[in-house]
Amino acid sequence: MKRSFVLLVYTALVYLFLYAPVLVMALYSFNQDPRNAVWKGFTLQWYAKLMQDTEIQRALLNSLQVGLIATLAATVLGTMAALALTRYRFRMQAALSGLVFLPMVVPEVVMGTSLLAFLAAIGWKLSLSTIIVAHIAFCVSYVTITVRARLAGMDFRLEEAAADLGAGPWDTFRLVTLPRILPGVISGALLCLTISIDDFVVTFFTQGIGSGTLPIRIYSMVKTGITPEINAVSTLMLLTTFSLMLIYGRLGSGQEPSRAR
């Protein structure tokens, strides 16, 4: 009893460590002090300023477009690959399994600079599309690995039973496999969307003029100095995420598979 209390306190402290900086940042978006240092009174002026910032708005649209397209593509490709790597035995399987880990062992800055050099060499003009293909490339591994983790140790006799009972490969996948791996697929997609919207480094090197995402825009703002306007845009991002995740939580809670004890 006492031990789990210690664990509870520890967990609470780690959550505090995770949340306190974000909450202070959000609170300070309503702060009059332009240097973001001490509390000088409530204001909405930074939000008003944000509403007129067309560059921020364009960056936000770019971020959403990149994140959604990259997540969709990476989730489909990654789930397919995860199924192939767990469900079947085939030649070069080990080599391909290793390939999946490539994006995790190649530092982002190396990937970013090499994509920049490669795209320049083949003459693909940097734009939103170059950001999207780059994001799919690193997202696909995260999806594959997440879904594989879900599939590992899974019993495929159900699939065999479905096949024996006359279900085709597609029906077996749709009616038997997909519902069982769906939590893994959803968490893979969520991880993917998180990483894509979050990504700064690879985007930094693959962006063209006007195709910068929100992190890119914020970076150039931060480099010119701390201003509560950055707090304001971050807080709005936070609120959007909150609502999205609450909806996801609602949808997800009903689908949680019952765990055999």
Partner 1 sequence: MKQRTAWLLVLPMVGWLVFFYLLPLGAVALQSFHLVTPDYEIGKELTLENYRRAMNPDYYPVLLRSASYAAATTLACLVLGYPLAYFIALHGGRHKSLFLLLLMLPFWTSYLVRTYCWMTLLQTEGLINTVLFEPWLGRPLDMLATDGSVILGLTYGFLPFATLPISVALERIDRSLLEASADLGGSPLSTFLKVVLPLSRPGVIAATLLTFVPAMGDFVTPELLGGPSTITIGQAIQEQYLQLFDWPFGAALALLLMVLMLIGIALYLRLSGSERVLA
Residue list 46-75, contact with partner 1 (CB under 8 A): none
- Report the residue from 44, 161, 168, 169 that binds partner 1 according to the rule CB under 8 A: 169
Q: Binding of partner 1 at residue 252 (CB under 8 A)?
A: yes
- Compute φ and ψ for 259, nearest 5 degrees: -95, 125
The tokens describing 229, both together, are 């306007």
Shortest distance in whole angstroms from residue 251 CB to partner 1: 11
Q: What is the dihedral of CA 132, 135, 136, 138, to 10 degrees?
A: 160
**Polymer length of the chain:** 261
CA atoms in the 13 A half-sphere facing the CB of 172: 16
Shortest distance in whole angstroms from residue 188 CB to partner 1: 11
- Report the residue from 14, 16, 61, 161 that binds partner 1 according to the rule CB under 8 A: 14
The tokens describing 201, both together, are 């480094």
Q: Whole-angstrom distance between the N-terminal and C-terminal Cα of the chain? A: 22
Shortest distance in whole angstroms from residue 228 CB to partner 1: 9
From residue 87 to residue 106, the character string flagging contacts with partner 1 as x (rule: CB under 8 A) and all else as - is xxxxx--x-xxxxxxxxxxx
Binding range to partner 1, per CB under 8 A, among 46-54, 112-120, 160-168, 174-182: 112-120
Q: Binding of partner 1 at residue 128 (CB under 8 A)?
A: no
Nearest to 66 by CA among 138, 132, 112, 134: 132
Q: Binding of partner 1 at residue 110 (CB under 8 A)?
A: yes
- Report the residue from 78, 159, 188, 192 that binds partner 1 according to the rule CB under 8 A: 78
User: CA-CA distance, 42 to 169, in Å (whole number)?
Assistant: 61
- Report the residue from 56, 115, 128, 151 that binds partner 1 according to the rule CB under 8 A: 115
The tokens describing 244, both together, are 């999205």
Residue (45 or 219) nearer to partner 1, CB: 219
Cα distances (Å, whole numbers) of residue 123 to 117, 202, 209, 260: 10, 18, 16, 55
- Report the residue from 16, 51, 84, 247 that binds partner 1 according to the rule CB under 8 A: 84
Residue (6 or 165) nearer to partner 1, CB: 6
Q: Binding of partner 1 at residue 25 (CB under 8 A)?
A: yes
Give 69's contacts (C-beta < 8 A, 6+ positions apart): 132
